[in-house]
Chain A
Amino acid sequence: EDQVTQSPEALRLQEGESSSLNCSYTVSGLRGLFWYRQDPGKGPEFLFTLYSAGEEKEKERLKATLTKKESFLHITAPKPEDSATYLCAVHDSWGKLQFGAGTQVVVTP
């Protein structure tokens, strides 16, 4: 059965304190792993798509990496505006996006 598990559920960081979010997945034949950012009361905002193990992508303070079983979203020197819920999703066997429960990140000044 296809499954996406994100950890931790919540993360509280001081401004400048780097950390990583984890997304572990089980899916037969990965067709893409996606990271989104969601602010309260808004739709998810696309961040990255990763397709193969070893792939890395960066955008400002965010860097996403992919292995055969998991993906990490590294937040380097976060700022308060990085506070959001970060969602991980994979294409399941039916070609639909299956989301993890998300990691709520709060960055305090």
Chain B
Amino acid sequence: GAVVSQHPSWVICKSGTSVKIECRSLDFQATTMFWYRQFPKQSLMLMATSNEGSKATYEQGVEKDKFLINHASLTLSTLTVTSAHPEDSSFYICSALPWAGGGSSTDTQYFGPGTRLTVL
């Protein structure tokens, strides 16, 4: 149980193009999902919190116009990197909090397998 998928697993794009990454909770519903970024040999850095049906909350220093997040359903959140540049190349990982019902979520985040983005 508690499986999260990401698509694509890797993507190569040209500078200036936009890339969309999907995050799906496969066997549970999630009102809250998170997007992280990880650089080589570093730990995860939270970029934003995605809430179903409302605007995402971005961490300090993360450009919300560059990293567009949409959480349109209880099982899907998307991250769109707009006008990507080489410095956006990174490993992007999403996570999801299973919805416990009654307006609450559990505490444990389950992570997707990650998406490797390379911008040429």
The residues of A with any CB-CB pair to B shorter than 8 Å are 31-32, 34, 36, 41-46, 49, 87, 91, 96-97, 99-102
Contacts and interface: CB of A to CB of B under 8 A. Distances in A.
Contacts of A96: 34, 46, 49
Contacts, number: 45
B107 interface: yes
Contact of A49 (B42, B46, B108): B108
A97 B109 contact: yes
20 contacts: A34-B108, A41-B91, A41-B114, A42-B113, A43-B95, A43-B111, A43-B112, A44-B93, A45-B111, A46-B2, A46-B108, A46-B110, A91-B107, A96-B34, A96-B46, A96-B49, A97-B34, A99-B44, A101-B42, A101-B43
A42 B43 contact: no
Interface residues of B, number: 21
A17 B110 CA distance: 30
